[in-house]
Amino acid sequence: MDSVEIKQNLCAVIAEIQETSGYECPPLTGATIPGRDVKEFKSEIWPYAISMLEDKTGVVVPEDENLFCDSKTKVLLSIDECVEKVMVILQKGEKRKAEVEGAVHE
């Protein structure tokens, strides 16, 4: 799965949440900051969005990972920044999988 697919799926999740909630969804671009630019897309909704993204992509986001906000600075993140975080998680998962598979073959 590449960053384009992750971004498409993330945008689809946000749009679905907005539709289900009865809110209009603004045009979503890489620069969109969901926690600021999307009506009522607040921190209470984020775990559901992450769960939906996991279901769509198969990427398991660690429970202590917040995709929509920087945990240190508390700065809300853009869609592109959220995608970057997912890609890092995905790469770590692939590295762990390769290490496990390598250990099995030794």
Q: State the alpha helices, DSSP H only, in 22-78.
A: 34-37, 46-57
How high is the pLDDT of residue 93?
79
How high is the pLDDT of residue 8?
98
Structural domain containing residue 56: 3-105
Total count of domains within the chain: 1
Block means of pLDDT (10 residues each) for the chain, 106 residues, are 96 98 97 97 96 93 93 96 95 63 53
Question: Which pTM does this prediction carry?
Answer: 0.86
How high is the pLDDT of residue 95?
55
* Contact predicate 39/24, CB 8 Å: yes
How high is the pLDDT of residue 32?
98
Cβ-count burial 38-68 (b if 16+ within 10 Å, e if not): beebeeebbeebbebbeebbebebeeeebbb
